[in-house]
Structure 1
Amino acid sequence: MIVILSVKHIVAITQHNSFRGLGLAQVRSREVECNRIRYFFVVILVSISSFVIGGCSALKPVMSPLADIEGVSGHFHAGQIVNLNTGEVISFDQLIDALGSRGVIFVGEVHSNPDHHLIEVQILQALTAQCGTLTVAMEFFQETHQKDVDRYIEGTINEGEFLEDVKWKKRWGFDYHFYRPLLLEAKEKGGRVLAINAPEDIVKKVARSGLNSLSTDERSQLAGSIDLENERHRDYLRKVYKEHVHTDLKNFEYFYQAQCVWEDTMAENISRFLKNNKKRMLVFTGNGHIINKFGIPKRVSGRIPVNMATIMLYPLAGRTAISKEMADYVWLTGDYSRKHFMIHHRHHHRMPTPSDEKSGKK
């Protein structure tokens, strides 16, 4: 404000006293001088403002999101890979060396996070280089579309036909360009791509009306054995359910049955394939299906003996607490959603709530 007043003051004085008794040419010359004075002080004003604003910004630095890991001192940040069994930060090469000895590797993602899809391609490339051709199992396709997936990988249909046949937009819905590099990498390397997801319509029916509501044909499309007895899993999903439906728990049992149907069916599809094929397998799925291993991983190990590992790709938003039981490895990344990964998991293949039944939503 002081500078602005000084400019006005100087200009006023110049205009008032300096133009008296001058000819037209001299007046114009003095006007040019006044304009130069105005410009000079504007430059000073802008420079001072920039300095002040910059100084204020320096006094209030933006804090990077950090993670605290249970039982480990210090903080962790995006870009780091942590061995949760030891609490140590490891390199990408160390991660691949550790994973290379495992028969089944579960990689959990946030479906809408672009970083996660790039990381998945890197993991597939590195493990293929180290171990040879892998079987790649994907939650992104329902088991009923296995023949469509096979035809695309074999090259008998083009990409457009493939997306139409598997009903990508209807059945999965996330941007295909996120997943395209991973599919192309698997296709190029010549490995089998396994569709493992349960039929969505049947899972939703269980969420609405329970397992006992299924017809004989519908029940035959799911895992033969559905484990509903894991109390830690049940407690975890009860918390998810409370956040998801914002109502009482009168329908929680159906919700829980649907989640177990979902995960046991994927586990059975994986196990059935591995019984007849001894190749290493890389499984890509949402984080919610592998967290604490009580989703798909333990349901696979309950069916067949398997040497497995889990790695979660975990977005950091603010200060985050991570349990050492969450996975064997965690790869910390940026967050693009403003929401925690479990929200993405809950809204994917959204299960009906009691209010949906009243409104007719499916």
Structure 2
Amino acid sequence: MSWLLSSISVLVLGAFPLLGAQAMPPAEDDDTGSSRQVVSELDPRTKVLDVSTLGSLDRLIDALVDDRVVFVGESHDRYEDHLNQLEIIRGLVERGNQVAVGMEFFQQPFQTQLDAYIAGTLDEEAFLRETEYFERWRFDYRLYRPILRYAREHGIPLIALNVPREITQKVGDGGIDSLSSAERRQIPDEIDRDDADYRAHVEQVFEMHPKDEDASFEHFLEVQLLWDEGMAERAAQWLEANPGKQLVVLAGVGHVQYGRGIPARLQRRVDAPMSIVMNGHQRPLDPEIADYLLYPQPVELPKTGLMGVMLDTETAGAGVAIQGFAQKSGAREAGVETGDRIIEIGDIPIESYADIRIALMDSRPGERLPIQVVRDRLVGGAKQLSFDVTLQ
């Protein structure tokens, strides 16, 4: 058993007994002659945790073997959540299940690239560029890399679940009615708006979001519905095309908790056994929130080295231009200036923001990296310059 497995407790929420109303005896006088308060019944909302239900990740995986779909919710920036996702996938594969992994963080138009990566015809760097990962998701790729590499090594299909960002952005601005007929063909025909609890939850999220004064809750709700219905529909399509196989869905906890997001909408399309697994830290001990809660120890990724620059990712041209610097900047200390265009970091040519993220992905603070820039000059034209930058 790995160190990760030994650091996890699993709580089976379905085993929570509720302490119901119970009759209490009448008040009695104590030795001082005062009366104790009369309590007619206990609060029926009181929950009692039976500690015998705490188990290991191995036992959890045994319980998941016969599910057609396993939802493993995540907080996107918690590395321990992704390591546990990997252990669940690995455990199901080792028990002989034919598994595919559905991913919120890849959008449906990029399914061809996921297939090519698993087939070995697209290397990791090309995969990240061609799926536009850093532009469309932006969370540190290292959080997901162990899962993706394991899938590639074992030939496990990856399923791009999410609807295109272009669609959800347009809906966020103008609602579903603003979509063209061609765009409507890219979204589900059936969208269930009748869940009052779902609407109330989305409204709470909307109120917490920074937004413009003219922001529309109805448009925000339609975006959430498109995400959940779109991912559910894509998952249903895969399940129907692959009878006898199991799908592990990796998505943010907001899309799976209480079953209101993807799970209910998938269950509406496919009648099959499903389970929801989530990290239980800082979440209520509510038997409705999930089927299983995990309690892992926090795990941090090593910090990535930073050049301390602000980048212009919109302006076209050779390399990526520098707009400014952080208060503490190794690039500025090395002699780099605002307006310089980065064309190489180490031995990686730089043409886009993704190239910079890839070049720095496994760097560390304190490491010195050579960079090449092009500097435009008033006299003599552009000049290529080299600097050794100490990463922060």
TM-score (norm 1): 0.68
Partner of 1:40: none
Q: Is the 8 A contact 2:65 2:97 kept in 1?
A: no
> In structure 1, how many angstroms separate the alpha carbons of the residues matched to 2:104 and 2:211?
27
Query: Compared with structure 1, are the counterparts of its residues 133 and 188 closer, same or farther at alpha carbon in structure 2 (3 Å cutoff)?
Result: farther
Residues 55-101 of structure 1 deviation map (CA, whole Å, 9 limit, x = unaligned): xxxxxxxxxxxxxxxxxxxxxxx842111111321221210111011
**RMSD between superposed Cα atoms in Å:** 1.9
Instruction: Please tell me whether residue 313 in structure 1 is matched to residue 276 in structure 2.
Output: no
Over residues 227-265 of structure 1, what are the superposed CA-to-partner deviations in whole Å (9 max), with x where a residue is unaligned?
Answer: 111111001111111111468897111111110011100
Asked if structure 2 preserves the Cα contact closer than 8 Å seen for 1:108 and 1:287, the reply is: yes
Residue 153 (str. 1) matches residue 98 (str. 2): no
Residue 294 of structure 2 is aligned to residue 331 of structure 1? yes
Q: Deviations over 1:157-203 (max 9, x none)?
A: 11111111001100111111111110111111212111111111211
Distance across 2 between alignment mates of 1:170 and 1:147: 18
Counterpart position of 2:329: none
CA–CA separation in structure 2 for the residues paired with 1:315 and 1:110: 11
Could you tell me which runs of 5 or more consecutive residues in structure 2 were left unpaired when the two chains were aligned: 1-6, 17-52, 301-392
Three-state SS of the structure 1 residue aligned to 2:67 is: coil
Q: Which residue of 2 aligns with 1:200?
A: 165
Higher share of residues assigned helix? 1
Q: Residue in 1 aligned with 2:15?
A: 86
Q: 8 Å contact 2:80–2:299 — kept in the other structure?
A: no
Distance in 2 (CA, whole Å) between partners of 1:212 and 1:103 is 35
Shift in alpha-carbon separation, 1:334–1:252, aligned structure 2, 3 A: farther
* CA distance in 1: counterparts of 2:140 and 2:165, whole angstroms: 18
1:223 aligns with 2:223: no
SS at match of 1:85: helix
Task: Give the TM-score normalised by structure 2.
Answer: 0.63
Change (3 A) 1:178 1:191: same
Q: How does 1:155-170 map to 2 (within 5 A)?
A: 155-170=120-135
What does residue 96 of structure 1 align with? 61
Larger radius of gyration between Structure 1 and Structure 2: 1
Name segments (4+ residues, structure 1) moved above 4 Å. 246-250, 334-337
Cα displacement string for residues 122-172 of structure 1 (whole angstroms, at most 9, x for unaligned residues): 111111111333111111110100001101100111111111100110011
Distance 1:223 1:246 in 2: 27
The structure whose RCO (Cα within 8 Å, separation 6+) is larger is: 1
CA distance in 2, matches of 1:90, 1:254: 42
- Tell me the secondary structure at the aligned position of residue 97 of structure 1: helix
Question: How far apart are residue 333 of structure 1 and its match?
Answer: 3.7
Equivalent position of 2:251 in the other structure: 285
* 8 Å Cα contact 1:242-1:249 kept in structure 2: no
Q: Residue type of the partner of 2:217?
A: F
